[in-house]
Amino acid sequence: MLKYLKSLYVKEQFNPKILGIFINPFYFARKGLYQNVSKLITNLNGRLLDVGCGTKPYENICNVDEYIGLEIDDEGNRQHNYADVFYDGRTIPFEDKEFDSILSNQVFEHVFNPNEFLREINRVAKIDGLFLITVPFVWDEHEQPHDYARYSSFGLKYILDENGFEIIQHRKSNNGLEVIFQLINAYLYKVTQTKKAYFNLLIIFVLMTPVNIVGLILSKLLPKNDDLYLDNIVLAKKVKDV
């Protein structure tokens, strides 16, 4: 029973349903990401490289021939046992044009050398290979000190074009009033968390559930605003070598 509850908790962190309203302080951000990624990820095919794979939250909704997770080579990533391959953060350890599809989820803001990073993505991708990338636009600093940038839709288009990619689809998640309520909960989460997991859950339920509920209601009633949103979700195609 305990194992099932832990599995359910983890699932609700990345693909929150109704239960997520009550236990996930990042309900809007994670729900928006999952909904948009799940719609675009069906385009990916063949051999896929997940750059900065983390816990591979989207592997189970990919219909590809081979799924390879890549991570920075450090002690933490070695212990988690999710990544298939490790690298130095600069040179991707694969030959040119090995992959039909590339995925990079909430990684790009942690890259201090973005052009070099994208050139490596370009190098290992086949011509006409697809690149699905998600990047925050409005969000607090996280995973400090390795948080280096935020990208607008225009900035992303420019840097992708510059590195041989053409945008096919660009989605903006949480472009309604829920963006404000998500930021409130992100603030509450950071200032209230303790080292006691069950006490943290109680805090989330008492303080953050009402914010989720009010934000959910108001976001349905009030208009969207494409100028203020949480995340960019971009599907691009490699059109040339760089």
Distance CA 6, CA 15 (A): 14
What domains can be seen in the chain, in order of their start residue? 2-238 (3.40.50.150)
pTM for this predicted structure? 0.94
Residues 144-154 pLDDT 10s: 999 999 999 99
- Could you tell me which of 180, 182, 183, 115 has the C-alpha nearest to residue 149? 115
Looking at residues 17-35, what average pLDDT do you find? 97
Work out the end-to-end distance of the chain between its first and last CA atoms, rounded to an integer number of angstroms.
52
- SS3 call for 113: coil
Contact criterion met (CB below 8 Å) for 142 and 107: no
pLDDT the model gives residue 105: 97
pLDDT the model gives residue 33: 97
pLDDT the model gives residue 102: 98
And the tokens for 58?
A: 């989207």
- Could you tell me which of 179, 213, 206, 195 has the C-alpha nearest to residue 32? 179
